């Protein structure tokens, strides 16, 4: 399968982004990601996205470029990029966690969205990994 490449970015959502838009983003990304053998996690909270993409480096970077050109988000800031020993989400073409649902509190979301641009990669990846057992697929 080759070396796994992980990329985590943080971005701001467009002001007029709706849950219909998020659902569409997830449907399209799951289709693209399944074909490109990319897995990962998308978290949305307070008008911001944090996303982990993992797979073959060239395919992950192509996916990131598509995201950068999508007008539903902007100010894409890469937090982590590099090789990984294994995927954190090997079976999820794109898991989703809604950080705005009050009935679904997660301390990892609060930490990730408090200061994502200043956190160290060694702190971010374990927080993302904690979602494996708690993430809702958004349908």
What is the token pair recorded at 20? Answer: 């219909």
What are the beta bridge partners of residue 5?
55, 83
Within 10 angstroms of residue 92's Cβ, the number of other Cβ atoms is 21
pLDDT tens per residue, range 76-119? 999 999 999 999 999 888 888 888 876 666 788 888 888 777 88
For the chain, which domains are there?
4-129 (3.30.70.100)
CA–CA gap between residue 113 and residue 128 (Å, rounded): 12
CA–CA gap between residue 44 and residue 64 (Å, rounded): 17
What percent of the chain has pLDDT above 90? 49
What are the beta bridge partners of residue 45?
48
pLDDT tens per residue, range 8-28? 999 999 999 998 998 998 998
| Mean pLDDT, range 120-135, rounded to an integer | 81
């Amino acid at each position: 399968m080759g070396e796994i490449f992980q990329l985590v970015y943080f971005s701001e959502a467009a002001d007029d982004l709706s849950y219909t838009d998020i659902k569409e983003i997830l449907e399209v990304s799951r289709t693209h990601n399944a074909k490109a053998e990319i897995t990962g996690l998308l978290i949305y909270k307070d008008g911001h996205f944090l996303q982990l993409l993992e797979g073959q480096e060239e395919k992950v970077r192509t996916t990131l470029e598509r995201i950068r050109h999508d007008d539903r988000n902007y100010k894409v800031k890469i937090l982590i990029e590099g090789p990984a020993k294994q995927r954190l989400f090997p079976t999820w073409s794109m898991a989703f966690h809604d950080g705005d649902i009050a009935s679904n509190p997660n301390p990892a979301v609060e930490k990730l969205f408090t200061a994502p641009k200043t956190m160290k990669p060694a702190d971010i990846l374990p927080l993302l990994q904690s979602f494996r057992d708690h993430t809702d697929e958004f349908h």
